Copies of this chain bind each other. A is one copy, B any other.
Amino acid sequence: MASCTIVIFGVTGDLARRKLIPAIYRLLAAGKLKKFALIGAAIEDVTIAEVLAAARQYVTGEIDEKIWGTLEERSFYQQLDFVEEGDFVTLASLIEQVERDYKLPGTRLVYLAASPDYFCAITHNAASAGVACRRSADDTKWNRLVYEKPFGYDLESAHEINDCIADRFHEGQVFRIDHYLTKELVSNIALVRFTNIVFEPLWNCQYIDQVQIVLSEDVCIEGRGAYYDAYGSLRDVVQNHMLELLALIAMESPEKLTGNFIQEERAKVLRRVQVTDGVLGQYKNYRAEKNVPKASDNETFALLKAEIDNPRWEGVPFFLKTGKCLAKTESVINIKFKQTECLLTKNCPTDSNWLTIRVAPDASFILSLNAKRLGYTDELAPIAMEFCHSCTFGLQTPEAYEVLLEEVIKGERSATVRFDEIEYAWQVIDHVRAMDLPVHQYERGSQGPAAAQEFTKENKIRWRS
């Protein structure tokens, strides 16, 4: 069981309320945090009791009042302006006081649950005031900083943030995280690919026809107009979640199945990704949303065709599709295999095989094959070989942020991304933005703009989702 002080910048925000505080409670309930304190900081004039009360509803399952009581007892709030160095000095005093009071070892997890606009300011002030101290990676009294995605706004701003961090902390203290990587089915991808020999000969352009990565949401921007209008689909999810999924599918075999080696291979393949075509969209009346400029042409939908310039993926398109305010919410990867030569005397061609990795809402692997239609002798019917995650492991999947905090505390790296991965991903996005694709309107609750249908037809895509 670990002991540490958890400092959250932006503790009054959505992420802390919905994800981080419930995850800390779950770590406590699971006995994975022994001695600890939580110190939240933000600009709002609130109490820690209010912060915790707002988060409590997001804890899934029954709450153990004794454990919740421990959390309340050991949580503190410091009102603070991210750009006021003086506020950080006050915060540092509070942290030291709490660490003395609770006999904490001084190991600190500092979580930046804030806009990347403030990453450099917070990093600088935290360093100056001693909220987090420069320590070597193997120092047992570790101080670790966690940066949420998106890491910057484009390649240039990402470099600025990274330089700002590198001037003040050792790389071993820095955790640029993508919580998508902790989702059970996502973190399964590399293990499943490389521990099952049956996929080895299939995973290349000789057998794979196309890959579809879909991350669609039926919710719209839900009051997050200021943030969303500055980022859009490309920066909000394509640059991070979707390109990381692409990298996990496309990467070469790592030397070992550990975080560092996987980061290495993801970075190598991201460097070879190029988007060659695409369609952008904006849902109708997006401009009427709160805090969205009346003339905004920010995209809330993106459909991209990416190619990977290496021998394994020669000629295999990767289609990425994402959007807000669409017909349904799902996160899925569909791998379409090439067709076999049809040896039947009729009903040719036969259906292609598909491997589907469903990340959400349900978690499963599905291999879609052909078999004999019942009772007939040479007609085919589609069949699905399915591995249902919850059927095997039950519904008690740990939440993404629970896994993530646990990993940072252990100093593990499977949910973190290396800066060069971020660089290559921004290169891809900056290139797409430079293409200056028009932004087409689409109906709320639809499949996206009409131009996306045309793109689908032109590219002969058979969407599986």
Q: Which A residues form the contact surface with B (CB < 8 A)?
A: 184, 187-188, 191-192, 194-198, 200-202, 207, 253-258, 337-340, 342-345, 350, 352-353, 355, 365-367, 369-372, 374-375, 377-378, 380-381, 383-387, 392-394, 396-398, 403, 407, 412, 414
The answer to whether residues A374 and B397 also contact, given A338-B197, A340-B197 and a CB cut-off of 8 A, is yes
Residues of chain B within 8 A (CB-CB) of A350 are 195
Residues of chain B within 8 A (CB-CB) of A365 are 371, 383, 385
The answer to whether residues A258 and B345 also contact, given A198-B202, A340-B196, A397-B374 and a CB cut-off of 8 A, is yes
The answer to whether residues A369 and B196 also contact, given A385-B387, A407-B377 and a CB cut-off of 8 A, is yes
Contact B196 A343 (CB under 8 A): no
Contact A370 B200 (CB under 8 A): no
Q: How far is the CB of A333 from chain B (nearest CB, A)?
A: 15
Residues of chain B within 8 A (CB-CB) of A345 are 256-258
Contact A194 B371 (CB under 8 A): no
Residues of chain B within 8 A (CB-CB) of A344 are 195, 256-257
A273 to B386 Cα, complex, angstroms: 35
Residues of chain B within 8 A (CB-CB) of A202 are 198, 201-202
Residues of chain B within 8 A (CB-CB) of A340 are 194-197, 200
- Give the residue of B253, B378, B384, B412 whose beta carbon is less than 8 angstroms from that of A257: B378
Stoichiometry (number of copies)? 2
Contact A256 B192 (CB under 8 A): no
Contact B197 A380 (CB under 8 A): no
In the complex formed, the residue of B with least CB distance to A254 is: B343
Contact B207 A197 (CB under 8 A): yes
Residues of chain B within 8 A (CB-CB) of A370 are 191-192, 195-196
Residues of chain B within 8 A (CB-CB) of A195 are 340, 342-344, 350, 370, 380
The answer to whether residues A253 and B412 also contact, given A365-B385, A393-B374 and a CB cut-off of 8 A, is no
A119 to B401 Cα, complex, angstroms: 74
A338 to B202 Cα, complex, angstroms: 15
Contact B375 A412 (CB under 8 A): no
Q: How far is the CB of A410 from chain B (nearest CB, A)?
A: 9
New A-B contacts (4) at CB < 8 Å, excluding given A197-B207, A198-B202, A385-B387: A195-B370, A200-B340, A253-B343, A374-B398
Residues of chain B within 8 A (CB-CB) of A386 are 385-387
Q: How far is the CB of A206 from chain B (nearest CB, A)?
A: 8
Contact B258 A369 (CB under 8 A): no
The answer to whether residues A377 and B187 also contact, given A255-B343, A370-B192, A371-B192 and a CB cut-off of 8 A, is yes
- Which of A196, A253, A369, A407 counts the most B-chain CB atoms under 10 A from its CB? A196
Contact B201 A377 (CB under 8 A): no
Contact A375 B353 (CB under 8 A): no
Contact B392 A383 (CB under 8 A): yes
Give 10 closest A-B pairs by Cβ, nearest first. Answer: A201-B201, A385-B385, A374-B393, A195-B370, A257-B343, A197-B340, A385-B387, A188-B372, A191-B372, A196-B369
Contact B187 A339 (CB under 8 A): no
A393 to B394 Cα, complex, angstroms: 27
Residues of chain B within 8 A (CB-CB) of A397 are 374-375
Residues of chain B within 8 A (CB-CB) of A258 are 345, 378
Q: How far is the CB of A27 from chain B (nearest CB, A)?
A: 12
27 intermolecular pairs with C-beta atoms under 8 Å apart: A191-B371, A191-B380, A195-B340, A195-B342, A195-B343, A195-B344, A195-B350, A195-B370, A195-B380, A196-B369, A197-B207, A198-B202, A198-B207, A198-B355, A201-B201, A201-B202, A255-B343, A257-B343, A257-B378, A258-B345, A365-B383, A366-B385, A367-B367, A377-B403, A377-B412, A384-B387, A385-B387
A338 to B375 Cα, complex, angstroms: 34
